[in-house]
Amino acid sequence: MARSPRISLAEASRTSGGLLRRGDTAQDDPAHPPTLGDLTESLFFSPGDGRIWLQNQRMVLLHGAAFGHLRRELIDTLGVDKARGLLTRTGYLSGARDAELVRSRWPDGELLSVFLAGTRLHALEGVVKVTPLAVDFDKLRGTYEGEFRWEHSVEADEHLAAYGVGTECACWNQIGYAIGYVTTLLGQLVVFREVECRATGAAACRVIGRHAAAWGDVSEDLHHLHAQGFHSPAPRTRAAPGPLAPNEARATRTPGELVGASSSFHSACHQLARVAQTRATVLFTGESGVGKEAFARQLHATGPRASAPFVAVNCAAIPETLLESELFGVERGAFTGATSSRAGRFERADGGTLFLDEIATLSLTSQGKLLRALQEGEVERVGGSRTLRVDVRVVAATNVDLHEEVRAGRFREDLYYRLNVYPIHLPPLRERREDVPLLMDHFLRVESRRHARSPKGFTQRAMRAMMHYAFPGNIRELQNLIERGVISCDDGTAIDVPHMFRREQLPDELLLSVGTDGSLHREGPPARRLRDAVADALDGQPHPLHRIEQRLLRETLQLHGGNVAAAARELGLTRAQFAYRLRRGEQAPAPRRRQRKVEPDS
């Protein structure tokens, strides 16, 4: 994950008044953020696209019985010990993720509320109802002790259903969660143990969490966590991502602006890494704004030519008449205005990389000259007679289908094959939506620094809008939205939807969120009033009903290419009704602009 400076717990307690380096449950004020309401708001459903989000993390609604079945099969096939370890570690990951979520979303949250948020999230996620009996911690002395009552444990329910009352506590996954949550927040291993469990016939489960040192021997607990090497100070160097590397970066983060964790992004990065060390020509394809230049720069920076120049040319931005002199240089006196000799981009990129963006916009003439330069490794300045040898790695990019351009006769086939040695497709942002939060975090820091502003993250509403926005302009548009947000928002407050989006940009997808009363309700940008839309469409002119009707009839007819039957169908009218209304409108009192008579379908 893009790493932001974390507020340490000591700092967090300072920001909340400076006193709370110690805490116990008596000090718990349910009104301190994150409140149950705040946490509930973090959970939202997006029924149309098959996803559920907890803030920026994807969740899944699993049937309790299916969980029970999986758990039983694990025990039956792997044995109790292995199954228990697996479930404990899975729980640990959930707890660690929730702790990261709370810490990044509420960096200034009061320490005790932040700790107890884990109990509330665990309940919200439908796992167990947690009642804190005692929580006592002292950051300075490095101690933690907590005792909790667990009711409605789904794991105990399923264990009982499968095996009946036994002699061993059974809430392994939940113990893992508690360890993961508190350990991730505290940065030190806190071990939870279940001392009573419904699976052994108790009325409720009871768990105790303590600093590892306070327990004495925790080897049994660590065994289930696979926690070898936990105390090693460099968890990021672990070969395999173990459960006890809560701070491990979850995203690839390379120099430049390549930020993301999605599989399609990873796949492009993997291809990039593979080809960077060679001198192969690379062709980047993808929509505008997906970051083709950033990838090209990264290719250059990680390849053997990194110390030589990287020269970028946007072929679409240079007028055709100047393109040749831009690319290949010009000798003094070659044409009017060429008052001095000047090197072209090819020469300037000698030994390095030449990035040709929007390659498809080159004219056929320019394509021919480019091909010659590529084939012969030589360029000749405009008006010059010397040939200059250049050693350039060419990287090209296009947002159109070059193969299609070749078929249409607009692009030279030989140049196409010359460039298309190693194509890398960069996916549009809407296909790597899980990267949106990472990119938001990245550009929030970039733009805040650039404009010397200090907004406090994003509101829940803004987060939701971004997660559902289509981003036709891809990453560039996302960056623009955030830049606008950073500039429009006051320091110390969170960036909200109106800071970033103009009204007409607002996403209109169905967003359901869970209210604090447990009901699902629609939440999204306020629906635009029909009346306002009509006023806009008629340029604010007076709009009596018959004018609106005429406008609607005519526009619909136009959309259907003059086919009255089709237009009538769309408006729920018969062909005759449609024709009648249209005729009636033409006889109506003088509209300001006389519309052209529309012929019925031929």
Residue closer to Zn ion by CB (options 154, 245) is 154
Residue closer to Zn ion by CB (options 153, 556) is 153
Which letter, b or e, does each residue of 364-399 get, where b requires 16 or more Cβ atoms within 10 Å of its Cβ?
eebbebbbebbeeeebbbbebeeebebebbbbbbbb
Q: Which helix (H) or strand (E) holds 430?
A: none
Return the residues of window 467-506 that contact Zn ion according to CB under 5 A.
Answer: none
Q: Which of 83, 171, 227, 478 binds Zn ion (CB under 5 A)?
A: 171
Residue closer to Zn ion by CB (options 38, 158) is 158
Q: Which of 88, 100, 61 is nearest to 181 (CA)?
A: 100
Report whether 294 contacts 395 (CB < 8 A).
no
Q: Residue 209: beta bridge partners?
A: 146, 192
Residue closer to Zn ion by CB (options 116, 197) is 197
| Residue 130 touches Zn ion, criterion: CB under 5 A | no
CA distances from 308 to 27, 311, 373, 397, 456 (A): 61, 10, 19, 20, 40
Least distance from Zn ion to the Cβ atom of residue 114, Å: 25
Return the residues of window 139-168 that contact Zn ion according to CB under 5 A.
Answer: 153, 156
- Amino acid at the residue 590: A
Residue closer to Zn ion by CB (options 48, 166) is 166
Candidates 64-72, 199-207, 303-311, 345-353; binding stretch for Zn ion (CB under 5 A): 199-207
Return the residues of window 310-369 that contact Zn ion according to CB under 5 A.
Answer: none
Q: Residue 52: beta bridge partners?
A: 45, 59
Coil, strand or helix at 53? strand
Least distance from Zn ion to the Cβ atom of residue 194, Å: 5
Least distance from Zn ion to the Cβ atom of residue 197, Å: 3
Least distance from Zn ion to the Cβ atom of residue 156, Å: 4
Measure the CA angle with vertex 134, ends 130 and 137; round to 5°.
Answer: 115
Q: Which of 312, 425, 414 is nearest to 370 (CA)?
A: 414
Candidates 123-131, 190-198, 284-292, 544-552; binding stretch for Zn ion (CB under 5 A): 190-198
Write the burial class of residue 6 (CB in 10 Å: 0-12 exposed, 13-18 middle, 19+ buried): middle
Least distance from Zn ion to the Cβ atom of residue 165, Å: 12
Residue closer to Zn ion by CB (options 159, 412) is 159
Task: Say how many residues touch Zn ion, by CB under 5 A.
Answer: 5
Candidates 192-200, 219-227, 451-459, 583-591; binding stretch for Zn ion (CB under 5 A): 192-200
Least distance from Zn ion to the Cβ atom of residue 177, Å: 12
Least distance from Zn ion to the Cβ atom of residue 214, Å: 22
Residue 213 tokens, joined: 């040192």
Report whether 129 contacts 150 (CB < 8 A).
yes
Candidates 84-92, 197-205, 264-272, 567-575; binding stretch for Zn ion (CB under 5 A): 197-205
Candidates 111-119, 171-179, 358-366, 374-382; binding stretch for Zn ion (CB under 5 A): 171-179
Least distance from Zn ion to the Cβ atom of residue 66, Å: 19
Residue 342 tokens, joined: 């000047």
Least distance from Zn ion to the Cβ atom of residue 70, Å: 18
CA–CA separation, 234 and 225 (whole Å) = 18
Q: Which of 112, 121, 135, 197 binds Zn ion (CB under 5 A)?
A: 197
Least distance from Zn ion to the Cβ atom of residue 13, Å: 32
Q: Put the strands of the sheet holding 393-398 in their side by side order.
A: 310-314, 353-357, 393-398, 282-285, 422-425
Residue closer to Zn ion by CB (options 128, 482) is 128
Report whether 235 contacts 214 (CB < 8 A).
no
Residue closer to Zn ion by CB (options 175, 275) is 175
Residue closer to Zn ion by CB (options 209, 455) is 209
Residue closer to Zn ion by CB (options 153, 271) is 153
Q: Which of 39, 175, 205, 406 binds Zn ion (CB under 5 A)?
A: 205
Measure the CA angle with vertex 526, ends 520 and 529; round to 5°.
Answer: 130
Residue 346 tokens, joined: 């090819």
* Site residues (vs Zn ion, CB under 5 A): 153, 156, 171, 197, 205
